[in-house]
Structure 1
Amino acid sequence: MVRSRALVFGIVMLGTLLLNASAAPPLGGAPAPQALRINIQGEPATLDPAKIDNRLAGTIAKQLFEGLTRLDNNGNAIPGVAERWSVSADGKTYTFSLRRTARWSNGDPVTAQDFVYSYRRALDGKFGAPLVDNLFFIANAEQFNGGKITDPAQMGIRAVDEYTLEIRLHTPAPFFLKLLAFFSVMPVNPKVDQQNPRWMNEATTFVSNGPFRLARWEHERIMVLERNPNYWARDRVKLDEIQVVMVANLSTAYQMLSTGQLDITTPPAELTGRLIAEKKAQVFPEARTFFVRFNNKVSPFTNANVRKAFSLAMNREGITRRILQGGQIPLRGFIPHGLSSGSGEFRKQAGDLYKDNDAQRARELLQQGLRELGLAELPALVMRSSNREIFTKIAQAVQAQWKQTLKVQVTIETMEHRAFVAAVRRKDYVVAPFSTGADYDDAFNLLGQFVSEDFFNFTQYANAEYDRLIRAAAVETNAERRTRLMIDAERVLIGQDMAIAPLFTNTQVVVQNPKVKNIYRYAVAEDDYRDAFIEP
């Protein structure tokens, strides 16, 4: 079974797990000379790398842990815990030589067996790692996760010796080295994990192997990450600490930045356009698609023409330019701009699959769909939405556009974010704004979630031809043929069936103290603060 390799849900600049508190907590005490102060909108549910399913927690984990590889400022894979590696001629076997100087924050050496333990832990079907499918490129990993084999030694992961790790894939994956820098495949300390399965819940028991260690965690309020003295490249880490403050209200956070209490935050939506125009906010691309999710098993969205009508009735240009104003790029396909196909940029290769704001065609398709359903008119509909600002704005915008073009009444039911995500996962919705982002730079990463039996197929889409194309792409070794399979799959998913209604490629909008330098931001991966510093 092909599963999605996408983060299930996310939002701009570390935005997840929204809290109700809007007052800024006092930071307390004089900051260290090199103290970076950032805001997140809520407390992460976990900092266990294998349990994380969102960009907020993933970005924090990125500073605390390190995988076999990491990314340079251009997004290329460079040595992390592995100081070098070799790849077999067929592209399926990777042999990693680990640094003998790599240490856990408690002083333990980082060994090849630590990675074997961590990958087996994540792949255990009982463990419930949400992004475990990022490891399914490893030989027999999916079969072990699904219970078809029970001996973990049959998977393509083994410690050749204490500092040599071998990973065998079932098919070549040209992006595999970049994937190994992703937070969900970072290691945990086996001894610590076995002695205390709750080690990840408090700073006093937290052990990691990255540039920073968790020094303080006041839940729902602040986390303090300090430079890790046992990190193998500690001399290149310039920041003494990172203060991660949890302020839900972005207007409050922006005021804190304006008064020197924060160095980085996401601006509130009402200020975003002006700050970008005045060059006071920076815009970074993000490989994330925002879309309207139709429940394909619930009427009237069981009908493809009704889904197409609702999609064509939306004005994406209006939503991005007049409402959101964050530099988002309207989409006319599912895969976001900038994501690779393995042979080029997918969106440029695949082209446009529909026309935006095509009101006349939308009305024609709606009438056709109603006839096919045996309905005289649409029933009243309820659209569930997260209470996150970006989603409520999208919901309100499409509600008005559907009313104007299709004469349909849609009621918005706004839910607390976690409750909303849980409802969508239960398929307890009719229509809902959503988003999905890439874990690594390949379009296949996002396409798998619409395979009929995929765990992440919350849309309940089913098409045998789509399934065939995705499964063929999963094992195709020729880059051009693989690209064509994925392009054809997207045309079935969107051009033919309009399983969802894509809206736009997202961006990350950041207001930042100009003295902060060398933060690496990526369209696909999490922000990296290892090389960051603050000018005097």
Structure 2
Amino acid sequence: MNDNFQLRRHFFTPFGLILLLAGGVFFAACGGSSDATRDLSTLRIALRSEPPTLDWSLATDNVSFDVLTNLMEGLTQYNSDLEPVPAIAERWEFSDDKRTLTYFLRDDVFWTDGRPVTAHDFEYSWKRLLAPATAAEYAYFLFDVANAYEYNSGQIKDPDRVGVKALSDRVLEVRLKRPVIYFPSITTFMVTFPQREDVIARHGDRWTDPENLVTNGPFQLIEWQHEYKLVLRANENFYEGRAGVDRVVLYIVREATTELTLYETGELDMAELPPVAIPHYRGHSEYRTLPLLRGYYYGFNLEHPPFDDVRVRRALAHAIDRSRIPKILKGGELPTASWIPRGMFGYNPDIGPQFDPPRARQLLASAGFPGGAGFPKINVAYNTDPTNKLIAEFVQDQWQVHLNVTAELDSQEWKVFLNRLKVDTPPVFRLGWGADFPDPDNFMNLFTSTSGNNHLHWNNPRYDALIAQGAAEQDSVERQAIYDEAQEILTVTDTAIISLFGLTQNVLIKPHVRGLELNAMELLYLKHVTLASTPSGHEADEGISHVPLDPN
């Protein structure tokens, strides 16, 4: 999903760090007096942004997903090894030719208004996602379903021809265009969650308001004070049993210094660490770090001159020294010129344009801009966040120093930025991507010509064909070769994007938080979290589980 980077990494100014030190709330004061008397029935977490939407057919960002994944359940869910396991579907079966997948639903799953969840709710949700009128960016997620693309693109008008059908209240049949080995992972994701047709019809655009929203997950949304907080209450009738905490309060906290201060004074149970603070907390029992299946890239609008010239794009890619990024962000980021992240099948660090200033200058000259002469000022757009600003200023400096090219930075609020990507794509823009499921198709399918999340105005028929082939290929050697060729096209041959680095999670978690499992997909599953009296000694580490990345 699109990564609103401000939610995951925050720049912490030295001045802000000095203020915290002076205020006595640095780590020497960790676990202050308010921890000892805190309410152990309520989990409190900060969000860096208002969720753009809680309509899971339209949501594309990780802040919306963090909320929705605790309000809703789908057919499948991930276990601690990030493998799909039963959720609302108690089991599933593939046909012999692997082109039909049948899900068999539990009979004890209910919506918060008491109605049972049925296969018809899934059929309606999937067809709503695909309906052209919905204009869902994630519609492409289901394009492996028979006639899904044709319906979404308007080539066919009858939704009954789409290959998803409720055979009964408890049986959902999915017909695929081709064998798709990872499809049970797709059904863990929010856009495949069931929906109530009657609720949406009754309330229209207001169906996600707390007083109207009907959900089926471990928590229920009971309050949404915009730009302040969201309050979730445990669902007493959740099919897996009641959650371990009564309430979850998600505060909108836009400033990194404020979040860390609230954590240190016991007002939050978890906090994302800003880069400058990481060295001071590293090694403390409440500090957690984990590499993530998330990438950070700069994209081009290939319809905007001079970025319609591949030589210009290649020159800009060769002019960036990615090795300096971890020194700037201080969070253990992994510089990379390839796109599939480390820890995911298909990762190949040898692919991508490496730092080569002489080659960059040669390419720019061959495009008609020797020594940068005559090159227009580059507009670089990013969503407002100090860390994104740090990276933009770094890239700006690299292009100026190595190519004599000037970049103008354009910071925009997250919702405004997302809208501009759709209606007036900037010449150069920053985006991130976090895994929706742990398969390379999720990263590579992002840039196919039919992807609603492809903002590059780029398409390559060979690339599209390779991604389709890779989705069906079961031989690991052949599949690796397919993704190697596709990454070469994306990052080198066409240089449609400049991949910069892979992300790392750096957080503080209070010792009384139990059952919170950190994982490479940064899934925020709260249904198993409990709060206990603050433990002592080594017990502080027992409440947090870690799911490591594959070392490859």
Q: TM-score scaled to structure 1, two decimals?
A: 0.88
Specify the code of the residue in structure 2 equivalent to 1:172.
P
Q: Give the C-alpha shift of residue 37 in structure 1.
A: 0.3
| Preserved CA contact (<8 Å) 2:230 2:250 | yes
Partner of 1:370: 368
Specify the code of the residue in structure 2 equivalent to 1:334.
W
Task: Return the match for 1:322 from 320, 324, 327.
Answer: 327
Partner of 1:145: 152
Task: Return the match for 2:100 from 93, 101, 105.
Answer: 93
Partner of 1:486: 483
Specify the code of the residue in structure 2 equivalent to 1:361.
R
Q: Give the C-alpha shift of residue 296 in structure 1.
A: 2.0
What secondary structure, in the 3-state scheme, does the structure 2 residue paired with 1:177 have?
A: helix
Specify the code of the residue in structure 1 equivalent to 2:274.
P
What secondary structure, in the 3-state scheme, does the structure 1 residue paired with 2:296 have?
A: strand
**Mapping 1:20-31, distance limit 5 Å:** none
Spell out, residue by residue over 1:450-487, the C-alpha distance to the aligned partner (whole angstroms, 9 max, x if none).
33464433222243433443344455565543442232
Q: How many residues in Structure 1 have an aligned counterpart in Structure 2?
A: 509
Task: Return the match for 2:336 from 331, 336, 339.
Answer: 331
Q: Give the C-alpha shift of residue 392 in structure 1.
A: 0.8
- Mapped pair 1:248 → 2:242: no
What secondary structure, in the 3-state scheme, does the structure 2 residue paired with 1:120 have?
A: helix
| Preserved CA contact (<8 Å) 1:158 1:167 | yes
Q: Give the C-alpha shift of residue 12 in structure 1.
A: 6.1
| Preserved CA contact (<8 Å) 2:107 2:170 | yes
Aligned CA RMSD, in angstroms, stands at 2.6
Rounded Cα–Cα distance in structure 2 between residues aligned with 1:460 and 1:72: 37
Q: Give the C-alpha shift of residue 280 in structure 1.
A: 4.6
**Mapping 1:125-524, distance limit 5 Å:** 125-235=132-242, 237-276=243-282, 278=284, 280-319=286-325, 321-339=326-344, 345-347=345-347, 350-354=348-352, 356-370=354-368, 376-452=373-449, 454-474=451-471, 476=473, 480-524=477-521
Task: Return the match for 1:11 from 2, 5, 15.
Answer: 5
| Preserved CA contact (<8 Å) 2:6 2:385 | no
Q: Give the C-alpha shift of residue 418 in structure 1.
A: 2.3
| Preserved CA contact (<8 Å) 2:320 2:395 | yes
Partner of 1:530: 527
What secondary structure, in the 3-state scheme, does the structure 1 residue paired with 2:518 have?
A: coil
Q: Give the C-alpha shift of residue 212 in structure 1.
A: 0.8
Distance 1:453 1:196, change over 3 A: closer
Distance 1:303 1:274, change over 3 A: farther
Identity of aligned residues (%): 29
Range that drifts further, 272-281 or 391-400: 272-281
| Preserved CA contact (<8 Å) 1:47 1:200 | no
Specify the code of the residue in structure 2 equivalent to 1:206.
L
Rounded Cα–Cα distance in structure 1 between residues aligned with 2:191 and 2:522: 11
Rounded Cα–Cα distance in structure 2 between residues aligned with 1:267 and 1:476: 40
Rounded Cα–Cα distance in structure 1 between residues aligned with 2:42 and 2:136: 33
Distance 1:446 1:55, change over 3 A: same
Rounded Cα–Cα distance in structure 2 between residues aligned with 1:76 and 1:384: 36
What secondary structure, in the 3-state scheme, does the structure 2 residue paired with 1:346 have?
A: coil
Task: Return the match for 2:68 from 61, 72, 95.
Answer: 61
Rounded Cα–Cα distance in structure 1 between residues aligned with 2:287 and 2:422: 34
Q: Give the C-alpha shift of residue 523 in structure 1.
A: 2.6
Partner of 1:38: 45
Q: Give the C-alpha shift of residue 14 in structure 1.
A: 6.2
Rounded Cα–Cα distance in structure 2 between residues aligned with 1:215 and 1:516: 23
Rounded Cα–Cα distance in structure 2 between residues aligned with 1:493 and 1:324: 26
Rounded Cα–Cα distance in structure 2 between residues aligned with 1:178 and 1:268: 32
Distance 1:45 1:89, change over 3 A: same
Spell out, residue by residue over 1:477-508, the C-alpha distance to the aligned partner (whole angstroms, 9 max, x if none).
65543442232121122122222111001122
What secondary structure, in the 3-state scheme, does the structure 1 residue paired with 2:282 have?
A: helix
Q: Give the C-alpha shift of residue 165 in structure 1.
A: 1.7
Distance 1:323 1:374, change over 3 A: closer
Q: Give the C-alpha shift of residue 365 in structure 1.
A: 2.4
Partner of 2:127: 120
Partner of 1:25: none
| Preserved CA contact (<8 Å) 1:285 1:523 | yes
Distance 1:273 1:329, change over 3 A: same
What secondary structure, in the 3-state scheme, does the structure 2 residue paired with 1:234 have?
A: coil
Q: Give the C-alpha shift of residue 314 in structure 1.
A: 0.8
What secondary structure, in the 3-state scheme, does the structure 2 residue paired with 1:396 have?
A: helix
Rounded Cα–Cα distance in structure 2 between residues aligned with 1:329 and 1:406: 25
| Preserved CA contact (<8 Å) 1:295 1:427 | no
Specify the code of the residue in structure 1 equivalent to 2:361.
R
What secondary structure, in the 3-state scheme, does the structure 1 residue paired with 2:57 have?
A: helix
Q: Give the C-alpha shift of residue 230 in structure 1.
A: 1.5
What secondary structure, in the 3-state scheme, does the structure 2 residue paired with 1:196 have?
A: helix
Q: Give the C-alpha shift of residue 530 in structure 1.
A: 1.2
Distance 1:135 1:304, change over 3 A: same
Distance 1:94 1:454, change over 3 A: closer
Range that drifts further, 526-535 or 512-521: 512-521
Rounded Cα–Cα distance in structure 1 between residues aligned with 2:323 and 2:380: 21
Distance 1:10 1:91, change over 3 A: farther
What secondary structure, in the 3-state scheme, does the structure 1 residue paired with 2:211 have?
A: helix
Distance 1:162 1:298, change over 3 A: closer
Specify the code of the residue in structure 1 equivalent to 2:330.
Q
Q: Give the C-alpha shift of residue 289 in structure 1.
A: 1.6
Rounded Cα–Cα distance in structure 2 between residues aligned with 1:406 and 1:14: 31
Where do 5+ consecutive residues of structure 1 fail to align? 1-6, 17-21, 23-29, 340-344
Rounded Cα–Cα distance in structure 1 between residues aligned with 2:425 and 2:352: 28
| Preserved CA contact (<8 Å) 1:12 1:508 | no
Q: Give the C-alpha shift of residue 278 in structure 1.
A: 4.9
Rounded Cα–Cα distance in structure 1 between residues aligned with 2:38 and 2:121: 35
Specify the code of the residue in structure 2 equivalent to 1:370.
G
Range that drifts further, 198-207 or 260-269: 198-207
| Preserved CA contact (<8 Å) 2:353 2:492 | no
Partner of 2:21: none
Spell out, residue by residue over 1:78-137, the C-alpha distance to the aligned partner (whole angstroms, 9 max, x if none).
211112222222222222221111111111111111111221222211112221221222
Rounded Cα–Cα distance in structure 2 between residues aligned with 1:52 and 1:15: 21
Q: Give the C-alpha shift of residue 362 in structure 1.
A: 2.1
Range that drifts further, 246-255 or 171-180: 171-180
| Preserved CA contact (<8 Å) 2:340 2:440 | yes
Spell out, residue by residue over 1:40-68, the C-alpha distance to the aligned partner (whole angstroms, 9 max, x if none).
01211221211211111111100000001
Distance 1:195 1:429, change over 3 A: closer
Distance 1:377 1:191, change over 3 A: closer
Q: Give the C-alpha shift of residue 279 in structure 1.
A: 6.0
Spell out, residue by residue over 1:428-451, the C-alpha distance to the aligned partner (whole angstroms, 9 max, x if none).
422222222332222222223433
